[in-house]
C-alpha cells in the first residue's frame, strides 16, 4: 500500500496548496479502470515520497471538489502546483512512467 493521502472535500484546498506538486487520482469503488490505475498511483506515492504528494479522492464520497473542477469521467488524474491545475490525464491506461514523468516536471 502506497503512502498516498486520502483527499476529501474538507482537506482538498490545504492539500493542493502545500507547496509541493500534488497528483490527485479521482476514482470510485465501482469503476473498473480505476481499479487498474489505483495500484499504479499507490506505487508512485511510495516512489516519490518527499518529492511530491500523491492523493486519491473517492468521487462518490466527495462530490463538491470533483464538480468544481469539472471532473466528469473517472479515473481522472489532475496535477496541481501552488493550487493550480497544471495537467489533466483521463482514463485507466496511463503507464506509471508517464504519470511519474508528468508529475516530476513540477518538482
Give me the active site residues, please: 31, 34
**What is the sign of the dihedral through the CA atoms of 77, 78, 81 and 86?**
positive
Cell of 17: 496548496
3-state secondary structure (DSSP) of residue 103: helix
Amino acid at each position: 500500500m502506497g503512502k498516498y493521502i486520502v483527499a476529501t472535500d474538507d482537506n482538498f484546498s490545504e492539500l493542493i496548496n502545500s507547496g509541493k506538486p500534488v497528483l490527485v487520482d479521482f476514482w470510485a469503488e465501482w469503476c473498473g479502470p480505476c481499479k487498474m490505475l489505483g495500484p499504479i498511483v499507490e506505487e508512485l506515492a511510495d516512489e516519490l515520497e518527499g518529492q511530491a504528494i500523491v492523493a486519491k479522492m473517492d468521487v462518490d464520497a466527495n462530490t463538491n471538489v470533483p464538480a468544481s473542477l469539472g471532473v466528469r469521467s473517472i479515473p481522472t488524474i489532475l496535477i496541481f502546483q501552488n493550487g493550480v491545475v497544471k495537467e489533466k490525464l483521463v482514463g485507466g491506461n496511463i503507464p506509471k512512467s508517464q504519470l511519474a514523468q508528468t508529475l516530476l516536471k513540477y518538482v
